[in-house]
Amino acid sequence: MRKMIPLILGMDPGLEVVGTAMDGLFALKKIALLRPDVVTLDIDMPRMDGLETLRRIRTEFGTPTLMVSSLSKRDAELTFQALELGAFDYVTKPQDAISLHINEIGDELIAKVKAAAEHGRAGRGTTPVVRLVVPPPPKTARTSPARSAERVLAIGISTGGPNALSCLLPLLPKDFPAGILIVQHMPEGFTGMFAARLNSLCGIEVKEAQDGDLVLPGRALLAQGNRHLKVKQLPMGTIAVLSDAPHVCGHRPSADVLFRSVAAEYGAQATGLIMTGMGNDGAEGIGEIRARGGATIAQNAESCVVFGMPKAAIENGHIMHTLALEKLGDFLIRHFSAKEVLHGAEH
């Protein structure tokens, strides 16, 4: 990996690899000497592991750091810890990283290194943009409502998403009146663990979506890695439908697929929320929610780790409300308590 990553990054003329290090201790010395714009950091290293190295980088240098993780359950857990410590984002190694399949992560790695550099130039460093302290809800048994949700909130999110969702979802009460559907760009094997982490923080129920799951008030369904999430209204209620259809906007799951599905099934009772992330996934699909009378919301630039996805939707003219992350919880509670869709602009 230490040999392959410089080769991949060196393919882009806008990037220069100024050094490599065999472990965390050497890395800290080289960062002090070379002062790079971005660091890529493995989780598993001798002498000083990735998490301790990340803590030191954050404290001593503030350099945006991109974690390089395997797809193992252990590394997935450590990756989430790294994001909580302030890592900018992560990329996952192919399972056979010693082969030429390492090139499969090339485009993603280059794009994320460039985004991390821009993040650093904006003065945000490695610190999460917003850290809300929310008392953990009492863990009492939840009684699922008998009827499926009549209104739905669909969320599309990517880079910076784990921290942003960890800030937003705990603000929603257990009796939140709408169903919630989430596309977070995340690899297969990570989403189940991420849903469980969110569920431990929230009053609402959060689970990884399975085929046939009912869309219920106060329940959030997180799209599985590598599968699109759609909904279908049936006599028994609205259910989640998972799909292996081709990637859309380079992603599976795709926010565009989710937004178009909820627009078709829920019409004016759908609300779309597009949050921090690279690229333009969701920018067109959220427009279909608005065209059918639903409400559309974007996270603002100042509270995004990367403003790409919300910016694209705003520039397309599809967004009615633009709000900071820390204001979204209260807005959504008021919005779904209202009998009619809240129209107009709010910033």
89 and 202 share one domain: no
Whole-number pLDDT of residue 130? 41
DSSP letter, residue 143: P
Q: Is 138 a member of any domain?
A: no
Q: What is the pLDDT of residue 139?
A: 52
**Domain that residue 43 falls in:** 4-121
What's the distance, Cα to Cα, between the start and end of the chain in Å?
44
Does one domain contain both 226 and 86? no
Last residue of a domain, one of 104, 121, 138: 121
pLDDT at position 132 is 43
CATH of the domain at 305: 3.40.50.180
Sign of CA dihedral 238, 228, 171, 80: positive
Helix (H), strand (E) at residue 153: strand 152-157
Q: Are 58 and 183 in the same domain?
A: no
Residue 86: in which H helix or E strand, if any?
none
Q: Write the single-letter amino acid at 241.
A: V
Task: For tokens 């806008």, name the residue.
Answer: 14
Same domain for 198 and 58: no
Instruction: Please check whether residue 266 lies inside any domain of the structure.
Output: yes
Tell me the DSSP string of 188-254. Answer: TTTHHHHHHHHHHH-SSEEEE--TT-B--TTEEEEPPTTSEEEEEEETTEEEEEEE-PPPBTTBSS-
Residues taking part in catalysis: 158, 185, 281
Beta bridge partners of 42: 68
Predicted confidence at residue 127, as pLDDT, reads 43
The token duo for 235 is 């006599």
Domain boundary among 121, 137, 171: 121
159 and 223 together in one domain? yes
CA 28/CA 163 separation, integer angstroms: 25
pLDDT on residue 106: 87
Q: Do 323 and 346 touch, CB atoms closer than 8 A?
A: yes
Same-domain check for residues 86 and 186: no
Distances (CA, A) of 66 to 86, 265, 301: 10, 38, 21
Work out how many domains the chain is built from and give that number. 2
pLDDT of residue 1: 81
Cα–Cα dist 48/54, whole Å:
10
Residue 219 lies in a domain: yes
Task: Examine the domain organization and report whether 173 and 58 are in the same domain.
Answer: no
Residue 75 is predicted with a pLDDT of 84
**pLDDT at site 241:** 98
Q: What angle do CA 292, 298, 299 make, to 5 degrees?
A: 165
Pairing of strands 152-157, 295-299: unpaired
Q: Which of 293, 295, 251 is nearest to 273 (CA)?
A: 295
Q: Assess whether the previous peptide bond of 145 is cis (omega < 30° from 0).
A: no
101 and 167 inside one domain: no
Of 196, 171, 199, 193, give the one whose Cα is nearest residue 76.
Answer: 193
Closest C-alpha among 65, 47, 84 to residue 197: 84
Tens digits of pLDDT across the chain (347 residues): 888 889 999 999 999 999 999 999 999 999 999 999 999 999 888 889 899 999 999 999 999 999 998 877 888 899 999 999 999 999 988 766 555 556 668 889 999 999 999 988 876 544 444 444 445 555 555 555 558 999 999 999 999 999 999 999 999 999 999 999 999 999 988 999 999 999 999 999 999 999 999 999 999 999 999 999 999 999 989 999 999 999 999 999 999 999 999 999 999 999 999 999 999 999 999 999 999 999 999 999 999 999 999 999 999 999 999 999 999 999 999 999 975 545 544 55
In sequence order, what are the residues at sequence separation of 6 or more whose Cβ sits closer than 8 angstroms to the Cβ of residue 119?
64, 88, 305, 306
Q: What is the pLDDT of residue 125?
A: 47
Question: Dihedral of CA 165/168/170/172: which sign?
Answer: negative
